[in-house]
């Protein structure tokens, strides 16, 4: 019974240690490190690169998102134009 419990604990430990690799430019990595440093200064505790990325993911993608007032007519024109554009692209691909 003890060995079984230890085996389960070991499996859970390995599960949480799974890591993924991503490729970043030096500039992107530098900026993530800077952001992690700023967050660390604000929070008063260590902040990982992953936490910095999660912080960015919670932010609005752009301050302009949702700021464009579109009439139903304009929205329909946009939809139609996009549909036509995608149809042309699919034919050429």
Token pair of 84 as six digits: 């036509």
More confident: 10 or 20: 20
Would residue 86 count as lying in a domain?
Answer: no
- Assess if residue 1 is contained within a domain: no
Q: State the chain's mean pLDDT as an integer.
A: 80
Residue 47 inside a domain? The answer is yes
In three state form, how does the secondary structure of the chain look? Answer: CHHHHHHHHHHHHHHHCCCCCCCCCHHHHHHHHHHHHHHHHHHCCCCCHHHHHHHHHHCCCCCCCCCCCCCHHHHHHHHHHHHHHHHHHHHHC
Position 61 pLDDT exceeds 70: no
Q: Is residue 36 part of a domain?
A: yes
Whether residue 8 lies inside any domain: the answer is no
Task: Classify residue 77: in a domain, yes or no.
Answer: no
52, part of any domain: yes
Question: In the chain, how many domains are there?
Answer: 1
Question: So what's the pLDDT on residue 62?
Answer: 67
At 16 the pLDDT is 56
d(CA 59, CA 48): 17
Query: Distances in Å between the alpha carbon of 62 and those of 8, 39, 59, 66?
Result: 44, 20, 8, 9
Q: Domain residues for 37? A: 21-60
Residues 11-21 have a mean pLDDT of 60
Residue 53 lies in a domain: yes
Give pLDDT tens digits for 20-51. Answer: 788 889 999 999 999 999 999 999 999 999 99
pLDDT at 57 over 90: no
């Amino acid at each position: 019974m003890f060995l079984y419990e230890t085996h389960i604990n070991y499996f859970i430990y390995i599960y949480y240690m799974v890591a993924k690799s991503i490729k970043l430019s030096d500039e992107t990595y530098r900026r993530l490190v800077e952001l992690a440093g700023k967050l660390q200064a604000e929070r008063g505790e260590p902040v990982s690169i992953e936490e910095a990325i999660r912080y960015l993911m919670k932010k609005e993608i752009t301050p302009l998102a949702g700021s464009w007032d579109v009439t139903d007519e304009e929205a329909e024109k946009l939809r139609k134009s996009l549909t036509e554009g995608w149809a042309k692209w699919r034919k050429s691909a």
